[in-house]
A and B are shown apart, each in its own frame.
Chain A
Amino acid sequence: MLLGTLIYGFVNSAILALLAMGFNLTFGISGVANFAYGAVYIFSGFSVWIFLNTFGIPYLLAVLIAIVLSGLLGLAIYYGVILRIKGMPLSEVMATFGLGLAIMELFRYFDFVGFRYTLPVFFDGSFNIGDVYIDYQRMMIGLIAVALTICLYLFTNHTRTGLAFRAIAQDERTALTFGIDADLVGALSMALGCALAAIAAVVILPLGTIAVEGGYEVLINALAVCIVGGLGSTVGILVASVLIGFSQTFTANYLEPHWMMLVSLIAIAIVLVVKPSGLFSHQKELEERI
């Protein structure tokens, strides 16, 4: 029981980290809270489904196209909407929130509801660790989360674009004097955030059905992890997703599955009372939050 809880807790944490990564990247770099994040997530899920079942494109190709499409959607949102209201955080939130709702409810309108909307798993099958049953897909999620974290670390620390990202995040004016285009970086961060949402979607969605409500849940989970960990802090995201992930799994196994959803709320409440800027956010604490 304990071993199983630990393993599934790890998988749950990996899922949360994957979900929060894209949201956190966009916010950390361009300061845009992308409330259309959940919509991008289900958009990519449904587009993979459409490519697979309507056009009959091979799975791997469909996944790649969906990820690219989501990135382009992010670019379109940035250039079409956010660039015009940049610097007014509340307007950004309202606009992306409205846009996200419109995308998600459009899927509901076109009747994308039901159990037939599922994605196939990458590798079928399962194996046992001790007496714990675990399928390959869940294993994959853990691996991909770890791999993506390493890739992102390498990207932001060892490539020119990544360094430009960090420069904008740290001090936009100084970065501008070095000839870094803030709008371009913002757009790229938005595209990358949306592409990360798409990766999370194609990895996680095979575990269940693609549902419009899932979009809201994804947004809420991402927000919870980011608030607890401290927005814009990668270490914070990892620690927060481990904390919330394990406590959710423990609650589900030892108390009652119903209480699982309340874990993130309680975590948010505690963090807000004790350390309002989040566990690992040390910069801009005073200006931004309080």
Chain B
Amino acid sequence: MDRRKERIDRGVKARSVDIFALTSYREMIYLLIPGAVPVVGLLCFTPLLSDYWREVIISTAIYALLAMSWDMLMSAGLLSLGQSLFFGIGSYLAGSLNYYAGLPPILTLPIATLLGGVICTVFLLPVLRLRGVYFAMVTLVLPLMLSRLVEATRILGGTEGLTGLTSFPNQLTALFIIELALLGVLFGFRRIMGSDYGLVIKGISDNDRSVMSAGLNIYWYKTQVLFLGSSVGCFAGAFGTHMDMFAGMPGFALDYSIMPVAAAVVGGTGTFAGPLIGAFILVPLSEMLRALGALRIVFYGLFLVIFVVGLPEGIFAYIQRKYQQIERWVDVS
């Protein structure tokens, strides 16, 4: 063993988004490529796919939104095992606005997003004082209980659900709406977490005591994060409802809880691009394995375990390292 692998960071200044980036085209291209890949890939490449695969991309994007919403909560140290709560509430809000009031999707989507965010935040407000494991427990219980509530009281269509909702004019419109939302959330969340505000949020998850002792109200910050995360989840729900033309108890299904967590962990938590990559790996994969039926959830579960134990940093961190470092073998004998 007289060789070792040397890893050298590329110029730090070139990577910081700053005036130094403008020194040469190479630096600019180097900075722009990572951002351009999802934009070009989603907006230019996906419309060329067949109808079936466009449908797959749409459902992938829904899961990716949920995964990014999960990642936002996780950034503040709030582990949610019940993303389906957000999905379900968004879907029921959009569904009932469309079903009872006859509003078109162009109105129900924003209303369900904002109102859903407010409802979920108020709903989880008493739990927000809890952290870690306890928050996870309550979020796991809530969606299951809510679906029971719908079943027991037979409100909002009961077990039948609300059917015959308005759909989008055509598939391409739907595709572009969800992709723009996806990109907006991706870059928006990354920007938020890159700012000073994001530093406070990360601080809450790392050591909330020290954030408190800095004189910041962590509950207020957590409330804001919860609103951000849950409104994105509600948007995914509202969109999914109009896509399926149906709002019902499956909105609270376990799929919508476990899948985003698995996607975020596989891709790499705290990066937002990671959950996106994770969703774009797992959902098409499970679509190809559709014949396996219930085994899909088994795969999600196992993926989750394997990545949590074996590769906790996720795929995105690996790619990022490869992109930002020069690796070479050096002689040490």
Contact = CB atoms under 8 A, between A and B. Distances in A.
Contacts of A106: 295, 298
B160 to A, nearest CB: 16
Given A106-B298, A258-B153, A272-B130, A101 B258 contact: yes
A84 B309 contact: yes
B134 A98 contact: no
Interface string A233-266: 0000000000000000000000010110110110
Interface stretch (B4-12, B91-99, B138-146, B240-248): B138-146
A97 B308 CA distance: 11
Contacts of A85: 308-309, 312
B304 A109 contact: no
B9 to A, nearest CB: 27
A269 interface: yes
B81 A97 contact: yes
B156 interface: no
A91 interface: yes
Contacts, number: 132
Interface string B122-140: 0000110111111011101
B125 to A, nearest CB: 10
Contacts of B145: 220, 261-262, 264-265
Assign chain B's interface to a size class: 35 or more
Q: Main secondary structure on chain A at its contact with chain B? A: helix
A102 B153 contact: no
B184 interface: no
Contacts of B132: 89-90, 93, 288
B293 A109 contact: yes
Contacts of B136: 33, 90, 93
User: Which A-B residue pairs are the 4 nearest by beta carbons?
Assistant: A98-B304, A258-B152, A102-B301, A101-B301
Interface of A: 33, 35, 81, 84-85, 89-91, 93-95, 97-102, 105-106, 108-109, 216, 219-220, 223-224, 226-227, 231, 256, 258-259, 261-262, 264-265, 268-269, 272-273, 276, 288-290
28 contacts: A85-B309, A90-B132, A91-B308, A94-B79, A94-B261, A94-B265, A94-B304, A97-B81, A97-B258, A98-B261, A99-B305, A101-B304, A102-B298, A102-B301, A105-B294, A105-B295, A109-B295, A220-B144, A223-B141, A224-B141, A258-B151, A258-B152, A261-B148, A264-B145, A272-B126, A272-B129, A273-B126, A289-B129
